[in-house]
Amino acid sequence: MQNVYILILLAVIAGIVIPVQGALNTRLAGALDSPILSAFLSFAVGTAALFVYVILSGTPLGNLSNIKNAPPSAWTGGIFGAFFVASTIMLIPRLGVAVTFGIIVAGQMIFSVVIDHFGLLDSPVRPVSLARIGGIILITVGAIVIRRY
């Protein structure tokens, strides 16, 4: 059970770094005068950091040969990541960090429930429930409250 707490802590830390990343990428976009160049450089630095981690952790590079087994749709994750990063860089100066990520979290929860309900993208089926709908409503209301005040 203690392992679950480590996973929850990791999820909280991941949640913390997302708005920090957005704010830092927005700062970089200001220096470069380009949100797209900022997103590009963010991915380049992230790729370099992951490469260093792969080398230092001893992750076997031979596993890359298994990429031929991945469906073509699996390659689109990077495109969605690029869209996400570039969008946040463009939204933060206009909406602020809290509003941007409040709305993003609401959107994530709405579509996460759809993915769960229908088992999309090979996810386990978890039917929609009133409690899940209530959670989405609360998150959405929270995003609206953050935006208004």
pLDDT tens for each residue of 66-107? 999 999 999 899 999 999 999 999 999 999 999 999 999 999
Give me the helices (H) in 33-76, please. Answer: 35-57
Q: What is the mean pLDDT of residues 94-121?
A: 94
pLDDT at 149 (0 to 100): 84
Predicted confidence band of residue 143 (pLDDT cuts 50, 70, 90): confident
Predicted confidence band of residue 123 (pLDDT cuts 50, 70, 90): very high
- DSSP line for the chain: -HHHHHHHHHHHHHHHHHHHHHHHHHHHHHHHT-HHHHHHHHHHHHHHHHHHHHHHHT--GGGGGGGGGS-GGGGGHHHHHHHHHHHHHHHHHHH-HHHHHHHHHHHHHHHHHHHHHHTGGGPPP----HHHHHHHHHHHHHHHHHHH-
Please give the structure tokens belonging to residue 118: 């229908």
pLDDT at 130 (0 to 100): 96
When the pLDDT of each residue in the chain is averaged and rounded to a whole number, the result is 94
Closest residue by Cα to residue 115 from 98, 136, 85: 136
The separation between CA 122 and the C-alpha centre of its own chain, rounded to angstroms, equals 19
Mapped onto helix, strand or coil, the DSSP state of residue 119 is coil
First to last CA, the chain: 39
